[in-house]
Amino acid sequence: MKYISTRGRAEPVDFVQACMAGLAPDGGLYVPESWPQIEPAKPHESYVIVSTRILKAFAGDSLSEADVLGLCKRAYASFSHHSVAPLVQSGPNQFVMELHHGPTLAFKDVAMQFIAQLYDLVLTRRDARMSVVCATSGDTGGAAAAAFAGASNVDLFILHPHERVSPVQRLFMTTTGAVNVHNLALAGDFDDCQAIVKSMFADIEFSNAVSLSGVNSINWARIAAQCVYYATTQAAVGSDRPIRFVVPSGNMGDAFAGYVAARCGLLNGFEAVCAVNENKTLATLFESGRMARTPAVPTPSPAMDISVPSNFERLMFEVSGRDGATVERVYEQYKQAGTADLPETVHGPLKCAGFKADVVSNADTLAEMRTYYGETGQLICPHTAVATATARDLPPTEAVTVILSTAHAAKFPETVLEATGLDAPLPGRCEALLEKGELFDQLPADLQAVKAYIREQAAG
């Protein structure tokens, strides 16, 4: 199993090389050279068994089956629900997939716990050390901090937009006490953080000097690991029943994982509605075919306050017929001008790829949190509310509607209180966070400042 770049100018690599690198050297994102066909999940199979089969298919010869099984066992041992991603019925022919049973109460844990185990295995065997960097709009940083805290072979650098994540999200990042976890609060928005990460990878001399790797949704292991809960959901509702997934979307990694699951034969067809907040880049992309750089607008769902969805590049590569030259040309124009129109060879097929996007306003997000509690007695996070509000307006269908609940309500207690008048306390297993001291450094959203910080810490 080999992996190629979406921009077509990087040598093929294996699964481990793709995951450890994060970004391809030509600036593109890694995807499989061809899609493996994988045996679908069965209702009686455990999450660990299904994840082992799927991730071994993506790993090919770069990891043994025993290796992958061990990685999956260790990765999911810390989850509070044995199903990892259980389904809860929320209405007629409608279910919520709960993705917040990991150690930091967010869906990012599902992939990040696997990635940390993978890095530990590979770097131990190589007797090597790496600098792992991630930009976060909230949940990725906490998941990475929890997964990599105390790792003997990794220095983790988390870039988050200062005062633009929830206080509880920040606590998961800044309270590990681990000397290998470094938190940087940048004076900008998430897109600034993400741009700095991509620029660091583009600087080959710097990247090599600090042994740089990344665990954002640009990392293929994130997509591969997230395919698993789509497969287990298909098994739970029945292999013969089509599913309409409603996915809270920012960087589009979660939604793209569903597309990958379908391409690998793990789903009975594919239909995904990307539920987006007032940062409606995806809706604009799907409808008009225009990419445009705009400042991210603050919303009650901050993890989705993104104007440049990174994983759209992978989808563009697929719908263009894997035309790396076209992908590179569009992104180069976007980089230079801040706008780019998708060519018809991309926008036409994009309309048939199984995706659509619906926009939910800030006011409707808060109203949905109240309505959903009134109907079910359950508190939901604002990101999940964007998805449940979207599902409310979808036309009836014979397909089962599955809404991805991407975070626990307790990660956004201020927003829950504003919307419902109710408290959203942390689960008992996470209460100790509130007693811990925070540690983070403030920096300008400046590439050179961040690179200097990483050089200093990596050298120490």
Residue 334 has, within 13 A of its CA and on its CB side, a CA count of 23
Give the Cα separation of 405 and 101 in Å (integer).
11
State the chain's mean pLDDT as an integer.
94
Structural domain that includes position 236: 87-101+221-420
List CB contacts of 452: < 8 A, sequence separation 6 or more.
Answer: none
Give yes or no for a contact between 16 and 39, defined as CB atoms under 8 angstroms apart.
no
Q: Per-residue confidence at 305, pLDDT binned at 50, 70, 90?
A: confident
pLDDT digit string, tens, across residues 197-221: 989 988 989 999 999 998 888 899 9
Q: What distances in angstroms separate CA 433 from CA 98, 143, 163, 411, 436, one per listed residue?
A: 22, 14, 18, 12, 5
Here the CATH number for the domain that contains residue 330 is 3.40.50.1100
**pLDDT beyond 80 at 459:** no
Q: Is the residue at 448 inside a domain?
A: no
Whether 108 sits among the annotated catalytic residues: the reply is: yes
Mean predicted confidence (pLDDT) in 372-400: 97
**pLDDT beyond 90 at 170:** yes
pLDDT of residue 156: 97
**250 or 264, higher pLDDT:** 264
Proportion of the chain above pLDDT 70, given as a percent: 100
Handedness of CA 313, 319, 322, 324 (dihedral sign): negative
- Of 225-229, 426-430, 443-447, minimum mean pLDDT range: 426-430
Q: Is the residue at 113 inside a domain?
A: no
**pLDDT beyond 80 at 442:** yes
Give the Cα separation of 397 and 81 in Å (integer).
30
Both tokens assigned to 8: 């077509």
pLDDT of residue 297: 87
Q: Where are the beta strands (DSSP E) in 128-223?
A: 130-135, 154-161, 181-187, 212-214
Q: Per-residue confidence at 295, pLDDT binned at 50, 70, 90?
A: confident
Give yes or no for a contact between 292 and 284, defined as CB atoms under 8 angstroms apart.
yes
Token pair 């998708």 is found at 342
pLDDT digit string, tens, across residues 262-294: 999 999 999 999 999 999 989 999 999 999 888
Q: Where are the beta strands (DSSP E) in 232-344?
A: 243-248, 272-276, 290-292, 339-341
Token pair 């997934």 is found at 245
pLDDT digit string, tens, across residues 22-67: 889 999 999 999 999 999 999 999 999 999 999 999 999 999 999 9
Q: Is the residue at 395 inside a domain?
A: yes
pLDDT digit string, tens, across residues 330-350: 999 999 999 999 999 999 999
Give yes or no for a contact between 74 and 117, defined as CB atoms under 8 angstroms apart.
yes
Given 56, 108, 198, 411, which residue is catalytic?
A: 108
**pLDDT beyond 70 at 154:** yes
pLDDT of residue 166: 85
Q: Is the residue at 125 inside a domain?
A: no
Q: Name 31's bridge partners.
A: 4
Q: Per-residue confidence at 460, pLDDT binned at 50, 70, 90?
A: low
Both tokens assigned to 402: 């599955």
Pairing of strands 30-32, 3-5: antiparallel
The phi and psi torsions of 428 (rounded to 5 degrees) equal -50, -35
Give the Cα separation of 102 and 391 in Å (integer).
25
Q: How many residues does the chain have?
A: 460
Q: Is the residue at 396 inside a domain?
A: yes
Closest CA to 133 of 225, 227, 199: 199
Q: Is the residue at 300 inside a domain?
A: yes
Q: Is the residue at 46 inside a domain?
A: no
Instruction: Name the domain count of the chain.
Output: 1
List CB contacts of 67: < 8 A, sequence separation 6 or more.
Answer: 121
Q: Is the residue at 57 inside a domain?
A: no
